[in-house]
A and B are shown apart, each in its own frame.
Chain A
Amino acid sequence: MGNGTSIGRVRGLGAARGGVVHHWLLQRFTSIGNLLTVLFLAVSLVLLPDYNYATMVEWIARPVPALAMILLVITTFWHARLGLQVLVEDYVHEHGNKFACIAALNLAACAGIAFGVFCIVRLALGAHA
């Protein structure tokens, strides 16, 4: 099988089958998510009166901050997973090692999202100590 025609490659029908465009777009979409949610966190930290346990829990248990923090965890981990994939692809050239790195990266990103969301949901539903 050849590499297709020039216009076919441009339209995402080359060797990578369009996966590159998908990765590139997701990196942009999640970066917009990061921008909104991390700035929400930064502004919230500036506005909070103190960082005592009671103050922080009262803040993060409220619906809007809880939802914003859940979205923050998802969008930052997803963005980091995409970015670290590029790092692995740039510096890990051996097939087996690259596969192992990408597999570990996917597991770590999913675990990070699950742990973060679980913590916030517990706090939002009042299940903390």
Chain B
Amino acid sequence: MANAGTKNRPLSPHLQIWKWGPHMFVSILHRVTGDGMAFAGLGVLLWWLGALAGGPASYATFQWAMSTWIGMIVLVGISWAFFSHMMSGLRHFALDVGAGFELRTNRMWSIICPILGVVLTAAFWALLLLR
């Protein structure tokens, strides 16, 4: 709200003033992975569906794009964003019911969630490639 009367109000301190902790990291990671998927993830989803509906030729183009190294990075990135966002989202569900606010517990899950996101991504690609 940038009304005339509110423009010169003092701003609340932003990221640069706080000492970094895992809680901050997992919160920012949730936003980055979510917004990243909203653009890259949903874009690739529509490309995939459109290529399938378009026929074998357009699907071949999609397959070629996804088998380049840029495509592989995008696909691995999307899957990592999903599993990370899923873990921090499940953490939000626990916090929503009022659980996990004790300092040590909160810190522990803030550290575990992003690690589980990476582990699940690795497990997913291991299953895909070893199938």
> CB of B104 within 8 A of chain A?
no
> CB of B49 within 8 A of chain A?
yes
B63 neighbours in A (Cβ, 8 Å): 51
C-beta contact mask, A46-69 vs B, less than 8 Å → 1, else 0?
A: 100001010011001000000001
Q: Are A129 and B56 in contact (CB under 8 A)?
A: yes
Contact residue range for chain B?
20 to 34
A116 neighbours in B (Cβ, 8 Å): 45-46, 49
B52 neighbours in A (Cβ, 8 Å): 53, 56-57, 60, 119, 123, 128
Known A73-B45, A77-B42; contact A83-B35, beta-carbon cutoff 8 A: yes
- Chain B: minimal CB distance from A32 (Å): 9
> CB of A10 within 8 A of chain B?
no
**A80 to B55 alpha-carbon distance, docked (Å):** 28
C-beta contact mask, B53-89 vs A, less than 8 Å → 1, else 0?
A: 1111001100100000000000000010010001001
> CB of B19 within 8 A of chain A?
no
Q: Are B55 and A129 in contact (CB under 8 A)?
A: yes
Q: Are B38 and A83 in contact (CB under 8 A)?
A: yes
Chain B, residue nearest A56 (CB) = B52
Q: Are A115 and B2 in contact (CB under 8 A)?
A: no
**A95 to B2 alpha-carbon distance, docked (Å):** 7
> CB of A42 within 8 A of chain B?
yes
User: Which of these binds chain A: B21-29, B107-115, B123-131?
Assistant: B123-131
Known A95-B2, A129-B56; contact A119-B37, beta-carbon cutoff 8 A: no
Q: Are A35 and B86 in contact (CB under 8 A)?
A: yes
Q: Are A120 and B49 in contact (CB under 8 A)?
A: yes
- Chain A: minimal CB distance from B29 (Å): 14
- Chain A: minimal CB distance from B25 (Å): 18
**A112 to B54 alpha-carbon distance, docked (Å):** 16
**A119 to B1 alpha-carbon distance, docked (Å):** 40
> CB of B102 within 8 A of chain A?
no
13 contacts between A and B (CB under 8 A): A42-B79, A53-B52, A69-B49, A76-B41, A80-B42, A83-B38, A116-B49, A118-B53, A123-B52, A123-B53, A128-B54, A128-B55, A129-B56
* Further 5 A-B residue pairs, CB within 8 A, beyond A35-B86, A69-B49: A51-B63, A53-B59, A83-B34, A87-B31, A94-B2
Q: Identify the B interface with A (CB < 8 A).
A: 1-2, 31, 34-35, 37-38, 41-42, 45-46, 49-50, 52-56, 59-60, 63, 79, 82, 86, 89, 93, 96, 124, 127-128, 131
